[in-house]
Chain A
Amino acid sequence: MTTTASVTRPGTTAPARSGATARLAALGRAELTLLLRSRAALVTALLVPAVTAFSMRGMVKGLDLGGTGLSIATVLLPGSLGLALFFSVYSNLVGVYVTRRESLVLKRLRTGEVRDWEIFAGGALPALMLALVQCVLLIVGLTVVLDAPAPAAPHLVVLGLLVGVAMLVAAGALTAAVTRTAESAQLTFLPFWLLSMVGSGMFVPRGVLPGVAGDISAWLPFSPVMDLLQGGWTGGLGGLDQIRLLLAALAWTGVAALGVRQWFRWGPRS
């Protein structure tokens, strides 16, 4: 330990505070390094959504879409995007947050200048990049394979992806809050994932769900996101509906964020 001169300079004029952008970049870079070193997580997040999307094709073909105004493409495209978000953002982040918490990384980070939301956001950055790449690939790939039309309202696709991602980051943190160990993180993401797959129109369009189930499904957290994405391709959403769906998605995101604030613990439970 060669202690050089000027080990510290307390009392000198304070340098500019580190900015949120710099902190997010530093956290995101470290997290990306970790993601790239974790082959299993990377493969799951990259391949599974693509494989599932193409294998869903057969199932969607068998659906009776008469009267819903939907086609195979307008069911499959939003569905595969939703699925991709769930894999690369939601289930991925539940694992990331729980693992970092249990290995005391979050507790250590919290002793520094990083703000709480930056810890979540920084940790989510690589997952968001992954999701973005996947969505682009899926949209291009499926459009070519299915000879699908371009989205009628592309802004709704972008909007849907943005609020979808925000909701799933918050939901991931909330799920991590109730997950005790890294092992159980491989199960605790299932309930919300299954509920959304079945009820929010990722596999089966909500339009074909029977009466009461259809009504209930409208109130599920991820349904407004899927409706926005679907509306992006069909172009069948009015201005008021767009705002209503957006607000509903944001409200659910807010609820999840409040839950995180209330229940998320930064260190392992003793």
Chain B
Amino acid sequence: MNAVIETIGLKRSYRGFEAVRGIDFTVARGELFALLGTNGAGKTSTLELLEGQDVPTGGSVRVLGHDPFHDRGKVRHRIGVMLQEGGFPPELTVLETVRMWAGCTTGARPVDEALELTSLSGRRAVRVKQLSGGERRRLDLALALLGRPEVLFLDEPTTGLDAQSRRDTWDLIRELKAQGTTVLLTTHYLEEAEQLADRLAIMHQGLIATTGRVADVVAERPSRISFELPRDRFLGELPPLAAMGVTRHSDEGGTVRLETRDLQRTATELLSWAHHAGVTLHALDARSASLEEAFMEIAKGFEDFGNPGNHGDPGDPGRHGTTKSTGSPGNHGTTRSPGNHGTIRTTANTRTTASTGNGETR
């Protein structure tokens, strides 16, 4: 594997607070790797170590085969960095800022090209202090792209951008990736990770809680089916649930919820039963797990268990890479709220009752 970024047991502490508590991951050339996590999960702290802004308190980090802090001279001209909050002198214009940065960059693109890429050409004469938050993010991105970097570090590249600019930025990142740039980005937006990332890691409290391809991370979570049975029908009339592939179920106030790792099979069995029995299933909803559900479950799970120390290993190996669910690609990018994730944490195969009747709405 052609690892462009590699960390082993990476740690970082500030005055006694351990922000990064030993993480391992590798990013291959041309890959787009996303770091997700709640605020304070350690994403930015990790990124800063990769960018060579500080020395790790423990473990090691390699970027393009070098120590990014001590060998920064060998690394810096090959990477592009966009900080979470970029600093630019407020009294300089956009053009002056990019020109200054170009003068400090090996093999810099023409200034006009960088402005064009980030749609800032029309704002070149505007002083930085007059830019909107989104424009400032794009200026920061323009600087990160100036040196045609092999590796791009983007810390929340689309925070503060309107929907259109966000899509434009995604297109730009995709294009860079298509041309071979390795990208490591952090984001709050799960949709962003689903849209862009080849692989991702979800961080929580300084550790990587889970990592893998988006499909794998999602596949670790069960799919769900919910429907309302008519009053004169009972759950017991259905075929044996285990045989349908159902791993857990609940029935509250006529609303039935099923969890399965084989959505197609369970759905087929359910619908053919309904068809033959002449039953109308109201409010029928079937869907694969979403990244958001996986994310919420991790964030919540860690909170509830208090001490995340024993959750450092990214899941049991057996579950990785299993794609039992036939997962419909159609639901990617949906941002439904999981709402009822209160029920899914209990161990599989135990009967649980759904928390409330209105669990699906939020």
Query: A107-B83, A108-B83 are contacts. A8–B179 as well, Cβ < 8 Å?
Result: yes
Which one, A28-36, A157-165, A198-206, is touching chain B?
Answer: A28-36
Interface size on A, residues (CB 8 A): 39
Chain B residue with the shortest CB-CB distance to A270:
B14
Q: Is the CB of A76 closer than 8 A to any CB of chain B?
A: no
Distance in angstroms between the alpha carbons of A1 and B117 in the assembled complex: 5
Taking a contact as CB atoms under 8 Å apart, the answer to whether B113 and A111 are in contact is no
Which one, B93-101, B188-196, B275-283, B343-351, is touching chain A?
Answer: B93-101
0/1 string, A2-20, CB within 8 A of B gives 1: 1110111111001111100
In the A-B complex, the 6 residue pairs with the closest CB atoms: A26-B103, A104-B87, A15-B107, A1-B168, A111-B81, A30-B100
Distance in angstroms between the alpha carbons of A96 and B149 in the assembled complex: 30
Taking a contact as CB atoms under 8 Å apart, the answer to whether B117 and A30 are in contact is no
0/1 string, A23-56, CB within 8 A of B gives 1: 1011101100110011000000000000000000
Given contacts A15-B107, A108-B87, 17 further A-B contacts (CB under 8 A): A1-B169, A1-B171, A7-B117, A8-B179, A10-B148, A10-B179, A11-B180, A17-B106, A18-B103, A18-B107, A30-B89, A33-B91, A103-B89, A103-B90, A104-B87, A109-B104, A113-B106
Distance in angstroms between the alpha carbons of A17 and B147 in the assembled complex: 11
Instruction: Determine which residue in A14, A100, A106 has the highest number of CB atoms from chain B within 10 A of its CB, and name it.
Output: A14
Q: How many A-B residue pairs have CB under 8 A?
A: 131
Q: Is the CB of A105 closer than 8 A to any CB of chain B?
A: yes
Taking a contact as CB atoms under 8 Å apart, the answer to whether B172 and A111 are in contact is no
Interface of A (DSSP majority class): loop
Min C-beta distance of A209 to chain B, whole Å: 43
Task: Tell me which of A1, A29, A111 contacts B53 (CB under 8 A).
Answer: A111
Min C-beta distance of B310 to chain A, whole Å: 30
Chain A residue with the shortest CB-CB distance to B152:
A8
What residues on A are CB-neighbors of B113 within 8 Å?
4
8 contacts between A and B (CB under 8 A): A4-B113, A8-B148, A8-B180, A26-B102, A33-B91, A104-B83, A111-B51, A113-B105
Q: Is the CB of B77 closer than 8 A to any CB of chain A?
A: yes
0/1 string, B171-189, CB within 8 A of A gives 1: 1100110011100000000
Taking a contact as CB atoms under 8 Å apart, the answer to whether A34 and B103 are in contact is no
Min C-beta distance of B130 to chain A, whole Å: 14
Q: Is the CB of B313 closer than 8 A to any CB of chain A?
A: no
Q: Which residues of A contact B (CB under 8 A)?
A: 1-4, 6-11, 14-18, 22-23, 25-27, 29-30, 33-34, 37-38, 100, 103-114
Taking a contact as CB atoms under 8 Å apart, the answer to whether A18 and B105 are in contact is yes
Min C-beta distance of A40 to chain B, whole Å: 12
0/1 string, B29-65, CB within 8 A of A gives 1: 0000000000000000000000101000000000000
What residues on A are CB-neighbors of B91 within 8 Å?
33-34, 37-38
Min C-beta distance of A92 to chain B, whole Å: 15
Min C-beta distance of A23 to chain B, whole Å: 5
Taking a contact as CB atoms under 8 Å apart, the answer to whether A22 and B88 are in contact is no
Distance in angstroms between the alpha carbons of A6 and B108 in the assembled complex: 14
Taking a contact as CB atoms under 8 Å apart, the answer to whether B181 and A10 are in contact is yes
Q: Is the CB of B293 closer than 8 A to any CB of chain A?
A: no
Taking a contact as CB atoms under 8 Å apart, the answer to whether B176 and A8 are in contact is yes
